Chain A
Amino acid sequence: MTGLQTTNAPSHKIVIPHFVTGSLAFLISMILLFFTADEWMNLYFSPKLIAIVHVLVLGWGTMIAFGALYQLIPVVYETSLYSEKLAKVTFLVYSFSVVFLSYAFWMASFSQLLFYASLAMFLALMLFIANLSLTYRKRTKSNISSRFITTALFWLALTVIVGTLTALNFKYQFFNHSHLQYLKIHAHIGLIGWFVMLIIGASSILIPMFVISHQTNTKKLNLSYVLINMGLIGLSVNWFLDSNQIIELVMILSIVLGILNYLRYVYLVFKSRIRKVLDTAMKLTFISLLIMLFTLIIIGILTGFHWFKIPTMSIVLMYGSSIIIGFISTIILGQIYKTLPFIVWLKVYQPYVGKFKTPLPRELYSEEWMKIQMYVYLIGLAIFVNGIIFQQLIIIKIGISLLIITATINLINVIKITFHQQKLTSIN
């Protein structure tokens, strides 16, 4: 039975709450985005936008990532999670911290509440990282995918350290540079070091598995790993010291080339896939990677504008939106349906397999609603991005309205899967 991972899989009680809470946070963030649009479209460092961004990246993105990682760990490290109890405690502390931190930003309480909220978040993330690090120590397998995931954890730790120090600086003011310089480091190591590296690591296992491809040449992934990390370290150090534009350009190029190498790897997997017909979840996954390609173009434009000192307000907003709402959210909206139904299906039907006729995992949710969700989402995203480019509030609000509909359908589908009632029929 070598290779079977279900024996190491954690309890569904640890994984499922992350998916429900994350989906709820996605809906809340879209509603908040709608009602504050007139404020943030003119000032992207508005406290309310910072609060919404944290609900999105921590409450939605990282929350789902934690749930998915707990499930994926047996495949990645070929061992069970170090402590399920710690995972439960982490979920509670983390959920509280997301609300607390977002509230502190929302209220613009930078020198009071933010101090305590950021310490709570620091504790929550360190609990998660400790659990995964102790799991890593008893691993029996190491490959490029697990290296990506482990390094993503390192970047997550660094993100929270820089974030916490920046928050503490509001109270004690010990930084020599402007805090905006540290926020730039915090945002990029979070988005690229944590999210992009994690998505590359996880997707390099999951995409070949779901489309059935035996593309085993991982040279492009290895190169991608070196280029992204080198670029990110260089970029952070350069920003930490006094920013040099040429070094900045070289480091950005290194990251872009690294991501392009990963996309080339996925393209080879896609081309050599056995399963030609893609379901909605996999379509969303591949669309998210196209959005990633689009984001790289925006990075190019942004770097050019920055170089020639042209105002970049709307481009920065578009860059942030395309990476957080575009790339990260799209891949999550797809992959939720490649993981959650199977976790629930195994919980509800595993003991009855072969003895009764059971529904298929896909039948635990409405594929039709998922298709509607995908179209509404993609149209909403396109309208939203256009609204940002042309700085038109009404277009932005139409786009976000469609994203609210998407988040609502997603939440309903996730709840429907989570509370699925057993349906067994006799085989004969």
Chain B
Amino acid sequence: MTIETKPQVDSRSSVTYTDARLNANIPAGPIEQKWSKHKFEMKLVNPANRRKYTIIVVGTGLAGGAAAATLGEMGYNVQAFCYQDSARRAHSIAAQGGINAAKNYRNDGDSVYRLFYDTIKGGDFRAREANVYRLAELSVNIIDQCVAQGVPFAREYSGYLDNRSFGGAQVARTFYARGQTGQQLLIGAYQSLSRQVAAGTVKLNERTEMLDVIVIDGRARGIITRDMVTGKIESHVADAVILATGGYSNVFYLSTNAKGCNVTAAWRAHKRGAFFANPCYTQIHPTCIPVSGDHQSKLTLMSESLRNDGRVWVPKQAGDNRAPEQIPEDERDYYLERRYPSYGNLAPRDISSRAAKQVCDEGRGVGPGGLGVYLDFSDAIKRLGENAIRARYGNLFDMYERITGENPYKSPMRIYPAVHYTMGGLWVDYNLMSTIPGLFVGGEANFSDHGANRLGASALMQGLADGYFVLPSTIGNYLATGGYDKVDQSHPAVQEALNEVTQRTQKLLDINGTRSVDSFHRELGNIMWEYCGMSRTKEGLTHALKLIPELREQFWNDVRVLGSGNELNQELEKAGRVADFIELGELMCRDALERAESCGGHFREESQTPDGEALRNDDEYCYVSAWEHMGDPSQAVLHKENLEFENVKLATRSYK
């Protein structure tokens, strides 16, 4: 594969966008210089003046925690919020495998440019070049920062940092802390945040859920929250608001996300005017533990790093019910190695997931219900010994055994794809600002860097790049540019938002119907997985667009939320979130229907090559879909931000 680059001249003037609000504000100049140049050109806030500005940060995961801590360090007056009982529990904590950085400590040919290229290609050429280049550039600083904070990354006997390889890359650039990299990075950010809380620059509000954005004169000026212990609904005003509230995989009910992960903050912002970009881009992770029954409440991911040493296979013969050990070598189909010889078991997530679905659709799936494939470590155990495998993946193997009751050292793991990450999110410009001025969005909650598919070990990188480095710079520019008045709690817009939230909460309690919140959520999840999951068709999506509004209607007439609003009421919390998921589900299906091409995690059956690979349509769909709310998801208006590739040539993504 060759990388073609254009001569390094600025040609952004040719960029078209159909709506002035979709100006991505990408700085001019060669891609290597855009960020430094932009940092120089941005206005700064004098250190002595920073404490006069209040910044709200919603979410305390990698992006939110890092942003709140850094803004606090800089001297801003920060108000941070999380729904968990402690900032340390945000779902970034569950990321297992690692974090990419273009350090090239392995001397294996890595560079910022290669990481940039891999990420663009991994995203199936549906991400913005300038953002991705900046991400690759900052990846290097992230590792430095985390080590300085005391993150105990894996090390070699020399004392230097260790690396491993990950899906979609042919270099070893992934830094890791056993199988708990997300946990360690989050604890690093949480500790920095704690330091600022102690210093008084950050006020942290735990067990507090954001339920609306306050928009005054077209700018985001605060949020409405509900204290989840007392039920008190309150307003908070500020000069700028950052949402770092994660992704919306739980729209599928079953996903690898934490039970509390929700779209409410992003959806409320969308309803107040923030465009929602690429909602249909969801990532299905190939290595999750299969569903065991109707009681299933969530799915558990087994790190992709397992594919470094595990081999994926199914029986060649459909309906082969023999135990895996009894299936001879020549009757096994190592389908990833067969179909993608150069990447083999490390083929990117979307490709591996779809391949698993295909073999299961052919009746060659294994385990109960035939929805599973083997991930086999017997070769690696033979080659390296059980102890070496235990040292690498011990905690993952233990987790697998706890959940399934099977010993993966003895027999192969069974895995199946599950929804894991959402590349879509609120639309943001190069400054990570949404279409509501003053409303910034970081981490998984925005759409910016992963295009139509995210490579492994890139989510942690993006969250921390946004939080530690991008947002603290770009927010200063916004504040210094000014142009808005001071507001306080008495402003009519604040009162109006407060009233709306109060009424909505009361409405949920007043319905007093017959069905539990969970039953609606499960039903929505089934619709989404069936029609807007691993593969999508026009008919299916059209059908889903009939079912979802009906479900919404039923929800608002028949949901049963017991208890009151002025106490800890977990059913009430869930009800508000599910109501938003139902609306989002509809928008996702509309987006998936509109994008009649296959790209990355979005696979339209109508658009595939003769051998079943995704077929992109760059002539018609090389854009970001940005949806504007118009009162109802069915009325949402599509705006397009055209994607221009100046450095990378659009190519068919091949991992063969």
Q: Do A and B come from one complex?
A: no
